[in-house]
């Protein structure tokens, strides 16, 4: 059986960090819509410029744009068809969730678990203000406890490691309020398949929780 997982949670709740760990250990592909959008922005096309206005201001990209990007990714990436995926940061609105349901049906795929990372705003602000991200491969670091071996350089790909443009305190708080308004209603949407984990625990403890949750599905 393939592994089709969805991670839900506020910005900075640890979705990306844990998705990268699961991808490294089990080969399940992380689909981070934030990373996909940053790739589009880096190409500096008309679409990239349009998308940058939203992302750099901490606002959601229009549903139609993000759904097309996700559809393309699902259609093109062979590893996804073989190993399944972890959707990280998508869907973020009820409309996106409706569209995702249709895309999954069309591709004969079914979500096996929706994992919600529970965490409070002040922990998030502290975490994100310490976050450093590789601009090339998206690997996530943190200035408090997880710095690259060489300052400013990614351990994995050698890319530049820096703070994201949208990781200022003002934008974090804005992203959080958009999350509360537009994304939190998805907890009700996925009520039947929702699994809650404590996102404020130690990184490795969360990974253990996650492994327990998904192991039945991974071994199935």
210 touches ligand AP5 by CB under 6 A: no
13 touches ligand AP5 by CB under 6 A: yes
207 touches ligand AP5 by CB under 6 A: no
Task: State yes or no: is 50 an active-site residue.
Answer: no
At what angle are helices 169-178 and 121-129 packed, to 10 degrees? 140
Task: State yes or no: is 15 an active-site residue.
Answer: yes
Which candidate in 163, 164, 173, 217 is catalytic? 164
21 touches ligand AP5 by CB under 6 A: no
58 touches ligand AP5 by CB under 6 A: yes
**Rounded least distance, CB 167 to ligand AP5, Å:** 7
Q: Which span (72-80, 101-109, 128-136, 184-192) binds ligand AP5, by CB under 6 A? A: 128-136
Query: Using CB under 6 A as the criterion, which residues of the chain lie in contact with ligand AP5 when the complex forms?
Result: 9, 11-17, 32-34, 37, 54-55, 58-61, 66, 89-92, 96, 127-128, 130-131, 140, 142, 146, 166, 175, 202-203, 206
């Amino acid at each position: 059986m393939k592994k089709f997982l969805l991670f839900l949670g506020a910005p900075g709740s640890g979705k990306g960090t844990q998705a990268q760990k699961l991808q490294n250990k089990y080969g399940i592909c992380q689909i981070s819509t934030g990373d996909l959008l940053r790739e589009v922005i880096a190409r500096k096309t008309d679409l990239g410029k349009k998308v940058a206005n939203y992302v750099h201001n901490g606002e959601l990209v229009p549903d139609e744009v993000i759904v097309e990007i996700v559809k393309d990714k699902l259609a093109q990436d062979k590893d996804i068809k073989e190993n399944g995926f972890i959707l990280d940061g998508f869907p973020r609105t009820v409309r996106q969730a409706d569209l995702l349901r249709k895309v999954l049906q069309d591709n004969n795929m079914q979500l096996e678990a929706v994992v919600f990372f529970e965490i409070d705003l002040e922990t998030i602000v502290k975490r994100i203000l310490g976050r450093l991200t590789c601009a090339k491969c998206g690997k996530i670091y943190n200035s408090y406890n997880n710095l690259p071996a060489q300052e400013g350089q990614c351990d994995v790909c050698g890319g530049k490691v820096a703070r994201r443009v949208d990781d200022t305190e003002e934008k974090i708080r804005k992203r959080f309020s958009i999350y509360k308004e537009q994304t939190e209603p998805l907890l009700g949407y996925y009520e039947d398949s929702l699994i809650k984990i404590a996102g404020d625990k130690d990184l490795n403890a969360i990974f253990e929780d996650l492994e327990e949750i998904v192991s039945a599905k991974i071994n199935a």
